């Protein structure tokens, strides 16, 4: 078999293979068990293997690279257009095989094990922060049933724990015991969040790209490590605007007939990084209101023309463009217009 291109549809247990030769003729269609995948590709001559970018795709791409194959990952949304009629594993593998040969196809760079580990820390931290918020809300709601209240906010949760320890007469023993369980869980979750933040800080000090990103106003350690671990090759984006569009910070277009119609931000791409950039922009706005720099004047002028919640998104868009320029040049942010215009 002279297989030139293979479309590999990934799954948990069964993998679908669709291979073609140099003339595009179908050479192989078969299913493989998970334990049979590496043995099968080990028996083949080096060829081009296309896969949809999913949770396990980066692992399989690294494994196939060790066997000498060329691999390319594609966004699943771009492969969907090549699926003919009904969807099944064989049709998906055929669509992947066809899409990977298109000259205009956009590919996803393969992440290293270190990058995936850092992103796993971010996902775990995000999960624990949500659980911490749920515990605080549950504690506040349950204690309010007995007339014990405190202002909203995470830093006011300690007031509730103090009132819980002191208000033995106001709470039934059964209710107090279960509330103490919630408090113990809250303290344990907060300690785990702090531990993850310490690990991310340590990785940040060892990553040059992350340190360069942290020099930009509005990008802290969390955003810097997330961007550095997600974007392995900034040259895949032609400009800072393309990087901002990938994050979903540019307007959605619905243009036709020579008329440009721009709507709200597309909100495509990485939602987590987008949220971190917007949160950092909100923090920057608190300081630019009183400054006299040219950037601060631009922000104040934007605040005068646009709603207050629109300005942080516009500032996050500019921050994303600067972040791309910093990564592409390999230089820290200098605070002048040169690097902004390059984006």
Find the largest Cα–Cα distance for the chain: 84
Confidence label for 233 from pLDDT (cuts 50, 70 and 90): confident
Q: From CA 105, how far away is CA 113, in angstroms rounded?
A: 25
> Which residue do the tokens 């217009």 mark?
337
265 DSSP β-pair partners: 251
Q: From CA 26, how far away is CA 19, in angstroms rounded?
A: 6
20 DSSP β-pair partners: 5, 26
Fold of 5-99: Nucleotidyltransferase; domain 5 (3.30.420)
SS3 288: helix
Choice among 2-16, 34-48, 84-98, 264-278 with the minimum mean pLDDT: 264-278
Residue 78: name the closest of 107, 38, 57 by CA.
Answer: 107
Q: What rounded mean pLDDT belongs to the chain?
A: 89
Chain centroid to Cα 266, Å, comes to 15
pLDDT tens per residue, range 251-261: 888 888 888 88
The answer to whether 313 and 278 are in contact (CB under 8 A) is yes
Encoding tokens for residue 295? Answer: 């950037």
Residue 139: name the closest of 193, 175, 183, 176 by CA.
Answer: 183
Question: What burial letters (b/e) apply to 268-291, b meaning 16+ CB within 10 Å?
Answer: ebbebbbebbbebbbebbeebeee
Helix (H) or strand (E) holding 26: strand 26-33
Residue 190: name the closest of 134, 237, 123, 241 by CA.
Answer: 134
pLDDT confidence of residue 170: 77
Q: From CA 21, how far away is CA 47, in angstroms rounded?
A: 10
Domain boundaries, the chain: 5-99, 113-206, 208-342
88: number of Cβ within 10 Å: 12
Most confident of 58-72, 147-161, 253-267: 58-72
Encoding tokens for residue 332? Answer: 């820290």
72 DSSP β-pair partners: 50
| Average pLDDT score over residue span 287-303 | 69
pLDDT confidence of residue 287: 75
């Amino acid at each position: 078999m002279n297989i030139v291109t293979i479309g590999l549809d990934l799954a948990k247990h069964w993998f679908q293979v669709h291979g073609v030769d140099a003339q595009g003729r179908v050479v192989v269609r078969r299913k493989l068990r998970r334990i049979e995948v590496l043995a099968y590709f080990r028996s083949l001559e080096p060829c081009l293997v296309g896969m949809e970018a999913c949770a396990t795709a980066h692992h399989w791409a690294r494994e196939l690279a060790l066997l000498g194959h060329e691999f390319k990952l594609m966004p699943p949304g771009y492969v969907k257009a090549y699926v003919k009629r009904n969807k099944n594993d064989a049709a998906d593998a055929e669509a992947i095989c066809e899409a990977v040969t298109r000259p205009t196809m956009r590919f996803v760079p393969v992440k290293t094990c270190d990058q995936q580990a850092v992103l796993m820390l971010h996902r775990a931290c995000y999960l624990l922060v949500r659980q911490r918020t749920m515990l605080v809300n549950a504690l506040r709601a349950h204690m309010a049933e007995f007339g014990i209240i405190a202002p909203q906010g995470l830093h006011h949760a300690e007031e509730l724990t103090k009132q819980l320890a002191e208000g033995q007469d106001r709470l039934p023993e059964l209710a107090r015991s279960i509330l103490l369980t919630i408090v113990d869980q809250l303290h344990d979750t907060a300690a785990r969040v702090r531990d993850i933040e310490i690990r991310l800080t340590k990785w940040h000090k060892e990553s040059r790209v992350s340190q360069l990103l942290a020099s930009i106003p509005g990008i802290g350690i969390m955003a810097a490590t997330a961007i550095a671990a997600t974007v392995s090759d900034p040259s895949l984006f032609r400009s800072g605007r393309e990087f901002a569009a990938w994050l979903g910070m540019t307007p959605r277009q619905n243009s036709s007939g020579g008329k440009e119609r721009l709507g709200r931000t597309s909100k495509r791409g990485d939602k987590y990084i987008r949220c971190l950039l917007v949160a950092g922009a909100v923090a920057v706005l608190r300081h630019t209101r009183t400054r006299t720099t040219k950037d601060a004047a631009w922000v104040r002028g934007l605040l005068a023309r646009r709603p207050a919640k629109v300005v942080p998104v516009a500032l996050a868009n500019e921050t994303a463009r600067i972040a791309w320029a910093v990564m592409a040049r390999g230089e820290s942010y200098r605070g002048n217009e040169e690097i902004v215009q390059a984006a």
